[in-house]
Amino acid sequence: MQVLDKTQVEAVSKALGEPAWLLEKRLKALEAFARLPYPSKKDENWRYTDLSEAPLELPVEAPKGLRLSRDDLPEPVKRRLERTDVSGFLVFVGPDLVYAEVPEALKEKGLVFTSLAEALKTHPDKVEAALFQAVYTEDKFAAQNSAFFTHGAFLYVPAGLEVEKPLGVFKVLLEGEKASAGRSLLFLEDNAKAAYIEEYLSLDLPPTLHLSATEMVLRPGARLRHAHVQTFGEGVWHFHRQRALLERDSGLNDLVVNLGGAYARSEVASELVGPGAESEMLGLYFGHGRQQFDHYTLQHHVEHHTRSDLLYKGAVKDEARAVFSGLIRLEKGAQKTDAYQANRNLLLSPTARVDSIPQLEIGANDVRCTHGSTTAPVDEMQLFYLQSRGLPRGLAQELLVKAHLADVLSRIPLKALRAHIEAVIEEKVRI
């Protein structure tokens, strides 16, 4: 097996034609990757997770220069394009950007939406100003991504530009013997506004490692609606880290959805570093079979008069597991903060399990903070009532799951995306 070392980092950087500063950053991340151990159950944040079967040290797949026409895109992407309302989109197959559609009217107004590799050639200053500012070497997997990533998307929205329809990225994994590592970098200038959807798809695969990172930099007054939707097939181990830096009066509406793969871990942080910043953090997950979904969230209030509101809801059945660990952290200067956190879980079988750990660290004294968690089995009386009205048990269970998740789904204003998520959940309930 190819070793994850300096030779591979240099080969990736050379193949992508990267500048010297980026190679230097990659090599520093490699040093952190080599120094940090892979996590184990002895680590507090990993004590509910067994990584013994994870394909952790697969070498990353290098770009091949593949390009496709719209008609030749993978079927899962074509099906999604029929039901999405994105105005512009990028399609990655493995590490290759194979197709892109971006409205010329937006380009003329200064919007940049392309691959990271292309943006490094055409807008190097913008990339250098933001890359690695939010996700770099925070842990073993972040460092691995920063050292070895082979592809990614770059979105730049200039000051004052409001993009009315969402922009999308579709990432498709194909069968292979290598890992996939990619990033998204979203940079919104003052008072810019946009919506960005990243979707991850595949068929069932042999054990496959997928590393992703999303960095969001929001300048004063910027507004971003972001969605990370993962519907991988069986066999994929998905490790995702995202972090948003929210400056004065900026706002983020974030949604994380995990429905596919063998294992998915999402570490999601909102850093409210400017007064008046706001963050809404929504999460949805539904596990079946032996799937496991881990969600670790951070609402970090650094400055005064900031607000965050988190709601993560999920359901598990069969032998599936879910973990939620959420932390609200308030620094001493974070007076007049409002912070809310709730995690709600539904157990659809006696062998399913959820571990939920909401946490507070409050360094300020003039704040409003609440947190809570519930985990409960499906209400047999409700099932009985629905069945007594002639509904089969499976359909009755489907209705209860949709009702359980409704208050998150109702907060997704992107109608086409909401309909897609509802359809995938309906399929999973019936499995």
Task: Give tens-digit pLDDT for 134-145.
Answer: 999 999 999 999
What are the structure tokens assigned to 235, written together? 């066999």
Task: Give tens-digit pLDDT for 266-309.
Answer: 999 999 999 999 999 999 999 999 999 999 999 999 999 999 99
Q: Is the pLDDT of residue 128 over 80?
A: yes
3-state secondary structure the chain: CCCCCHHHHHHHHHHCCCCHHHHHHHHHHHHHHHHCCCCCCCCHHHCCCCCCCCCCCCCECCCCCCCCCHHHCCHHHHHHHHCCCCCEEEEEECCEEEEEECCHHHHHCCCEEEEHHHHHHHCHHHHHHHCCCCCCCCCHHHHHHHHHCCEEEEEEECCCCECCCCEEEEEEECCCCCEEEEEEEEEECCCCEEEEEEEEEECCCCCEEEEEEEEEEECCCCEEEEEEEEECCCCEEEEEEEEEEECCCCEEEEEEEECCCCEEEEEEEEEECCCCCEEEEEEEEEECCCCEEEEEEEEEECCCCCEEEEEEEEEECCCCEEEEEEEEEECCCCCCEEEEEEEEEEECCCCCEEEEEEEEEECCCCEEEEEEEEEEECCHHHHHHHHHCCCCHHHHHHHHHHHHHHHHHCCCCCHHHHHHHHHHHHHHHHC
Domain-embedded: residue 321: no
Domain-embedded: residue 341: no
Task: Give tens-digit pLDDT for 352-411.
Answer: 999 999 999 999 999 999 999 999 998 889 988 999 999 988 888 888 998 999 999 999
Domain-embedded: residue 350: no
Span 223-251, mean pLDDT? 98
Domain-embedded: residue 209: yes
Q: Is the pLDDT of residue 159 over 50?
A: yes
Q: What Rg, from alpha-carbon coordinates, does the chain have? A: 21
Residue numbers of the domain that contains 118: 4-289+377-428
Domain total of the chain: 1
pLDDT of residue 175: 83
Domain-embedded: residue 270: yes
pTM of the model: 0.96
Distances (CA, A) of 269 to 77, 133, 223, 296, 329: 29, 13, 16, 8, 11
